[in-house]
């Protein structure tokens, strides 16, 4: 299982790349008159009280990140095209490049993308007035059928993040994938050293120590240490909640970052990585974490995306058979509250085809599509609870993985991405990185982070 992004696979298996075969990174398909069997019977959608064909003949341009969702949904896209008569054009890019492209598009009012991936910058974009709120479309009966769509089947956390993480009253986009933090460990090492899977942070630290000290060439644990708002603080934000605080105890005047809880959480994470982490832990990104684990050079990943699962158990991994998954640990006296992250898809104010885009969103996140992607495809990131409960799916991905994910998701609390989160988050993560690198204490770092964050809002 490839992490599922290269256009390598999808270009060819999608359908006969008609018009844009030469396109590079899109690997796109825009087949209108697809011949062969449709992946999902149209009947699945025809129950809905939605006027699917009202935009027949138009086309939408989707800007997407190189992400498993894209490869998972592409085979089903002909279904949408058949259903609506709308052509779908893809523009798929690696994450960092996509950000640049998206920003250029919206900030210059180009409106190239009718649908685009949306993440931590959602409130930033929303406040700039670049994002088209979806509520008017939800209210439009020809576009949305609540009974059929069952919005409540979406995880609470996902819906919350699609509302700007609490900062928006309206839908800023439709969640398409969710990932939640889980714990990965080496079953063979656990057996060897007779270890129990940790439920608490204390146990986890113990386990890490045991492995670190008794194994040569294997570090106790790995975790994201590099800066960036999606990096080390993505992990730390979990712990700080579990240590009993939250970000922005008082928005926008008190970031809460200098509270005891945050400092304790930071100290715990910092010392964990320093004591039992790899050399240069402070510069490890998710890919280093993943690679280190894949190479069998680490005992655990304390907590990271459950989406590592395919990578860790697939052919890229030298320890594929020995990876265990469990819920992320939490403090003995704290509350389990793993971080979760949704990708959502949004549409911009300048987009030509926002309504068509909405139809696509509805279709893409609908139950039939989702279920098909997860049962027939190799997806494992559904935002729909029903999918995680689907037996076929569970047996495909493994009971254990599904159950851990489901339970975690039910308790999950994603980060609230306030509009300047990227900005202060970046600085906050820099501070944390400094602490991990041992340049300053966790307390100093967090105090600094707090003042930076508050300063950014004071202006």
Partner 1 sequence: MSTPTQTETTPQSTFARLRDLWNDYLPYWFMAPMVLVMIMITFFPGAYDLYLSLIAESTLDVFAAEFVGLRNFETAFTRGGAIHSFVITITVVVSALLLETVLGFVLAALVAGVGSGRAKSFYRVLFIIPMAVAPVSLATIGRIMLNSEIGIIPYVINTGTPFAAPSFLSEVPLLTVILLDAWNWTPFMFIIFYAGLSSVPKTLIEASRVDGAPMWRRYVHVIIPYMKPVVFVATLIRLIDLFRTFGVVYGLTGGGPGTATQLVSINIYEQMFINNQITVAAAIAIVYLVLVVALCNVIIAKVGFEGVWD
Partner 2 sequence: MATTDSDSATASQRLDKDTREKLITVVRHTILLTWSFIVLFPLYWLASMSLKPPGTANSLPPDWIFLPTVYNYIQLIQDSGFVAAFANSLVMVSASVVLVLLIGVPAAYVLSRYDIPMERDVLVWILSSRMLPPIAVVLPFFIIFRELNLFDTRVGMVLMYVSINLSLVVWVMKAFFDGIPETLEEAARVDGATQFQGFRKVVLPAAKPGIFSVAIISFIFAWIELLFGLVLTSFEAVPVTLFVYSFIGSRSIEWGMLAAASTAMIVPVVIFLIAVNKYLAAGLSFGVVIKE
User: What residues have CB less than 8 Å from 279, skipping those under 6 apart?
Assistant: none
Q: Which is nearer to partner 1, 116 or 360 (CB)?
A: 116
Instruction: Extract the tokens encoding 318.
Output: 């030298």
Residue 255 C-alpha from the chain's centroid: 24
The answer to the question of residue 100 lying near partner 1 (CB under 8 A) is: yes
Task: Looking at residues 174 to 233 of the shown chain, list those that interact with partner 1 (rule: CB under 8 A).
Answer: 219, 222, 226-229
Check if the beta carbon of residue 273 is closer than 8 Å to that of residue 281: yes
Site map 2..31 versus partner 2, x via CB under 8 A: xxxxxxx--xx----x--xxxxxxxxx---
Task: Looking at residues 196 to 225 of the shown chain, list those that interact with partner 2 (rule: CB under 8 A).
Answer: 217
User: What residues have CB less than 8 Å from 160, skipping those under 6 apart?
Assistant: 166, 414
The answer to the question of residue 121 lying near partner 1 (CB under 8 A) is: yes
Q: How far is the CB of 284 from partner 1 (least distance, A)?
A: 8
Collapse the DSSP code of 144 into the 3-class scheme (helix H, G, I; strand E, B; otherwise coil) and give the result: coil
Q: Binding partner 1 by CB under 8 A: which of 128, 152, 202, 389?
A: 128
Contact partner, 437, from partner 2, partner 1, none, Cβ < 5-8 Å per class: partner 1
Q: How far is the CB of 45 from partner 2 (least distance, A)?
A: 28
Contact partner, 286, from partner 1, partner 2, none, Cβ < 5-8 Å per class: partner 2
What's the farthest any 2 CA atoms get from each other in the chain?
66
Cα–Cα distance between 349 and 187 in angstroms, integer? 50
Cα–Cα distance between 291 and 23 in angstroms, integer? 30
CA distances from 438 to 181, 205, 218, 302, 433 (A): 25, 19, 21, 20, 8
Q: Binding partner 2 by CB under 8 A: which of 59, 123, 259, 294?
A: 294
Q: How far is the CB of 254 from partner 1 (least distance, A)?
A: 19
Task: Looking at residues 256 to 295 of the shown chain, list those that interact with partner 1 (rule: CB under 8 A).
Answer: 278-285, 287-288, 291-292, 295
Check if the beta carbon of residue 149 is closer than 8 Å to that of residue 359: no
Q: Which is nearer to partner 1, 392 or 455 (CB)?
A: 455
HSE-up of residue 100 (Cα within 13 Å, Cβ side): 5
User: What residues have CB less than 8 Å from 420, skipping those under 6 apart?
Assistant: 124, 456, 457
Peptide bond into 161 cis (omega under 30): no
Q: Binding partner 1 by CB under 8 A: which of 6, 12, 16, 107?
A: 107
The answer to the question of residue 103 lying near partner 1 (CB under 8 A) is: yes
Contact partner, 99, from partner 1, partner 2, none, Cβ < 5-8 Å per class: partner 1
The answer to the question of residue 422 lying near partner 1 (CB under 8 A) is: yes
Cα–Cα distance between 345 and 119 in angstroms, integer? 9
The answer to the question of residue 420 lying near partner 1 (CB under 8 A) is: yes
CA distances from 139 to 171, 174, 320, 358 (A): 11, 15, 47, 12
Check if the beta carbon of residue 428 is closer than 8 Å to that of residue 224: no
Q: Which is nearer to partner 2, 310 or 334 (CB)?
A: 310
Contact partner, 247, from partner 2, partner 1, none, Cβ < 5-8 Å per class: none
Q: How far is the CB of 127 from partner 1 (least distance, A)?
A: 9
Task: Looking at residues 104 to 133 of the shown chain, list those that interact with partner 2 (rule: CB under 8 A).
Answer: 104, 107-108, 110, 112
Task: Please tell me the total number of residues recorded for the chain in this structure.
Answer: 459
**242-251 contacts at long range (C-beta below 8 A, 24 or more positions apart):** 242/201, 242/330, 242/331, 242/334, 242/335, 242/336, 242/337, 243/268, 243/331, 243/334, 244/334, 244/335, 247/415, 247/416, 248/416, 248/418, 251/418, 251/457
The answer to the question of residue 287 lying near partner 2 (CB under 8 A) is: yes
Task: Looking at residues 311 to 330 of the shown chain, list those that interact with partner 2 (rule: CB under 8 A).
Answer: 311, 315-318, 320
Residue ranges in contact with partner 2 by CB under 8 A: 2-8, 11-12, 17, 20-28, 61, 65-68, 89, 91-95, 97, 100-101, 104, 107-108, 110, 112, 179, 217, 286-287, 290-291, 294-295, 297, 305, 307-308, 310-311, 315-318, 320
Which chain residues interact with partner 1 by CB under 8 A? 99-100, 103, 107-109, 121, 124, 128, 219, 222, 226-229, 278-285, 287-288, 291-292, 295, 297-298, 420, 422-423, 426, 430-431, 433-434, 437, 439, 455-456, 459
């Amino acid at each position: 299982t490839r992490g599922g992004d290269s256009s390598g696979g999808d270009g060819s298996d999608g359908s006969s790349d008609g018009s844009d075969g030469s396109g590079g990174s899109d690997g796109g398909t825009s087949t209108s008159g697809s011949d062969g069997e449709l992946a999902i019977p149209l009947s699945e959608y025809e129950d809905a009280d939605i006027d699917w064909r009202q935009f027949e003949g138009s086309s939408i341009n989707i800007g997407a990140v190189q992400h498993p969702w894209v490869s998972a949904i592409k085979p089903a896209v002909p279904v949408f095209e058949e259903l609506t008569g709308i052509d779908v054009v893809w523009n798929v890019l690696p994450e960092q490049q996509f950000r640049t492209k998206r920003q250029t598009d919206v900030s210059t009012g180009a409106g190239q993308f009718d649908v685009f991936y949306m993440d931590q910058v959602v409130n930033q974009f929303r406040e700039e007035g670049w994002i088209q709120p979806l509520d008017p479309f939800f209210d439009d009966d020809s576009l949305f059928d609540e009974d059929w769509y069952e919005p409540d089947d979406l995880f609470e956390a996902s819906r919350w993040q699609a509302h700007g993480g609490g900062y928006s009253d309206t839908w800023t986009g439709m969640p398409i994938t969710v990932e939640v933090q889980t714990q990965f460990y080496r079953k063979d090492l656990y057996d060897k050293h007779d270890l129990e899977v940790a439920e608490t942070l204390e146990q986890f630290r113990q386990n890490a120590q045991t492995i670190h000290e008794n194994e040569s060439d294997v570090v106790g644990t790995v975790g994201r240490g590099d800066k960036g708002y999606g990096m080390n603080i993505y992990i730390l934000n979990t712990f700080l909640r579990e240590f009993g605080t939250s970000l922005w105890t008082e928005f926008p005047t008190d970031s809460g970052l200098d509270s005891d809880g945050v400092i304790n959480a930071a100290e715990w994470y910092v010392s964990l990585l320093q004591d039992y982490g790899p050399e240069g832990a402070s510069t490890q990104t998710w890919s280093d974490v993943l690679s280190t684990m894949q190479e069998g050079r680490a005992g655990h990943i304390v907590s990271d995306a459950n989406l590592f699962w395919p990578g860790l158990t697939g052919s890229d991994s030298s320890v594929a058979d020995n990876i265990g998954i469990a819920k992320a640990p939490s403090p003995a006296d704290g509350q389990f509250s793993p971080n979760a992250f949704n990708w959502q898809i949004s549409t911009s104010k300048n987009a030509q085809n926002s309504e068509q885009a909405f139809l696509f969103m509805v279709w893409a996140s609908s139950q039939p599509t989702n279920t098909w992607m997860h049962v027939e495809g190799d997806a494992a990131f559904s935002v729909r609870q029903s999918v995680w409960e689907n037996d076929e799916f569970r047996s495909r991905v493994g009971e254990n993985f599904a159950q851990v994910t489901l339970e975690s998701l039910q308790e999950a609390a994603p980060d609230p991405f306030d509009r300047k989160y990227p900005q202060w988050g970046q600085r906050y993560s820099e501070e944390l990185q400094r602490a991990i690198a041992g340049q300053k204490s966790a307390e100093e770092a967090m105090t600094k982070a707090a003042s930076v964050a508050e300063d950014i809002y004071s202006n």
